[in-house]
Amino acid sequence: MPSQTFFNLPQMKRQNITNAAIAEFTNHSYESASISAIVNRAKIAKGSFYQYFKDKQDLYLYLVDRALEARNAFIAEANLPSVQSGFFVFLRALFQTILEFQLANPDWSQILFRGPHYGDVPFRKEVFKRTKADIIILIKKNIQEAIAQGQLKADLNPDFAAFMIVTLSSQLRYFIPFYLGINVERLVKDSPNPPLDAIRKIIDDCIQILEQGMGGN
């Protein structure tokens, strides 16, 4: 957590430091990312950096929290369908919205996902905990509403169901690039046009399995 000294800075200066940190972490592994490079880009003294943040981990987790704020705002503005429209209608829209956020915000997506998933961030568990917490709460709330409306089984465990859905959605970040032959690093850095129709088809297949199960008739 940054110090109050950091939050007392003018907004433009805080943003310059944040932008410098994003640029460094998105172009380097966590271990090779340099505080010296960040302060040089932000045009601040290195001593000032340590008045704002404890260390590099403190800075990275601050960026994770900022990225989550951006993701949550993106989801809130998406005006997702309510559970009354159908729980799986809501869930498909949520998955699609998260995908759209990732494609529209490659730098934030790299902070949230590429670092801990494909890089060498040594505190992965803390990053995972933060990235999953808000989504688990949101999905659990909608599961509970769907149970109350009779859309889902009355004996369904909302905590486990929400955890399972979020874990599955997280694993899609491994499956989609592997299955479609997408170079994740190039996608994040160069922003080429991804195969959206193919990605949406995978999301639809995922939702269908969740809704209908895998058993035969």
Of 14, 33, 54, the one marking the end of a domain is 54
Are residue 100 and residue 198 in the same domain, yes or no? yes
pTM flag (> 0.85) = no
CATH of the domain at 24: 1.10.10.60
Are residue 108 and residue 200 in the same domain, yes or no? yes
* Radius of gyration of the chain, Cα coordinates, nearest whole angstrom: 19
Residue 217 lies in a domain: no
Are residue 168 and residue 126 in the same domain, yes or no? yes
Residue 167 lies in a domain: yes
Q: Report the SS3 class of residue 150.
A: coil
- Under 8 Å between Cβ of 60 and 25: yes
Q: Rounded distance, CA 52 to CA 7, Å?
A: 8
CATH of the domain at 107: 1.10.357.10
Are residue 89 and residue 157 in the same domain, yes or no? yes
The domain in which residue 20 lies consists of 4-54
Are residue 120 and residue 22 in the same domain, yes or no? no
Q: What is the pLDDT along the chain (217 residues), one digit of tens a residue?
A: 899 999 999 999 999 999 999 999 988 888 889 999 999 999 999 999 999 999 999 999 999 999 999 999 999 999 899 999 999 999 999 999 988 888 788 888 888 876 544 456 888 888 888 888 888 999 999 999 999 999 999 999 999 999 999 888 878 877 887 888 877 666 555 555 778 888 889 999 999 999 998 876 5
